[in-house]
Amino acid sequence: MPTVEYRGMNLVIPENDSEWREHFKLARSHRLMLRGCNACGLLRYPPSHGCPWCVSLDWEWKEVSGRGTIHSYEIVVHAIQPGFKEWAPYPVVLVELDEQRGTPTEHEALRIIANLVTADFKPEAEQNVAIGKRVRVVFQDLTPDFALPQFTLSDEPPVGRVWSLPG
């Protein structure tokens, strides 16, 4: 079974995978592609088969800008996975993409989990992580067919209230 080794983990993507294979392969060409519904036009993440809103099974990959805002985050201090021990403390961010914010209802958005990394794919320092800060996608190439979409701080001004855990 095809696997990608990353930080001691086996990321398993079987030959008959219908969700992730193309997603990570498209990321390898350094494009963030999400599934878009051909019936209602709404994008969705993670890759899925039916549209969560109109239940159409007809979709195609659509490119998004990869720009967004930190909606929430955590700082992992005590890593669980052995391959992350030397990486800790590291931030995990929930990024809200610019496309489709507040659509189709007020609280819905395209959100993605990733690490907040520096230009050389090290974990961003904790004091630079905050809700409201602007980020852009970067691609961490792992194999010729596979890249992980990650995020890095952009130089755009923050959106709304900037907040991080006190202390």
Partner 1 sequence: MKSLKDKYCIVGVGETEYSRQSGRSTRAMAVEAIRNAMADAGLGRDGVDGMMSYQSGDSTPSNWVSPDLGLRLNFFMDVVGGGSSTEALVGLAMGAIEAGMCQTVALFRSMNGYSDFRIGGTGARSAQPVRGLDLAQVPFGMRSAGQSFAPTFMRHMYDHGTTSEQVAHVRAAHSRHASQNPKALLKDRVTVQAVLASRWIVKPLHLLDCCLETDNATCFIVTSAERARDLKQKPVFVLGVAGRVSKPRTDFHWAHGPISRVAGYHAKDIVFGQAGVTPEDIDITGSYDAFTFTTMLQLEEYGFCKKGEGGQYVSSGIIELGGRRPNNTSGGHLCEGYTHGMSMVIENVRQLRGRVDDYCPGWAEGRHTYDYSPGKCRQVKNARVTMNLGWSMPPTGSALILRN
Residues near partner 1, by CB under 8 A: 3, 6-14, 19-20, 44-46, 48, 52, 71-82, 84, 87, 90, 92, 94, 107-111, 113-115, 126, 131, 148, 150, 161, 163, 165-167
Query: What is the nearest approach in angstroms of partner 1 to the Cβ of residue 156?
Result: 20
CB of 86 or CB of 155, closer to partner 1: 86
Please state whether 30 falls in left (phi above 0), alpha (psi between -120 and 50) or beta. Answer: left
Which residues does 57 contact at the CB level (< 8 Å), separation at least 6?
Answer: 49, 50, 51
Least Cβ distance, residue 140 to partner 1 (angstroms): 10
**At closest approach, how far in Å is the CB of 21 from partner 1?**
10
Q: Output the smallest distance, CB 131 to partner 1, in A.
A: 5
Query: Is 135 strand, coil or helix?
Result: strand
Closer to partner 1 by CB, 44 or 134: give it.
Answer: 44
For partner 1, the closer of residues 30 and 163 by Cβ is: 163
Cβ 118 vs Cβ 124: under 8 Å: yes
Q: Both tokens of residue 66? A: 């990869």
Rounded Cα–Cα distance for residues 32 and 23 (Å) = 8
Tokens of 107: 């609280």
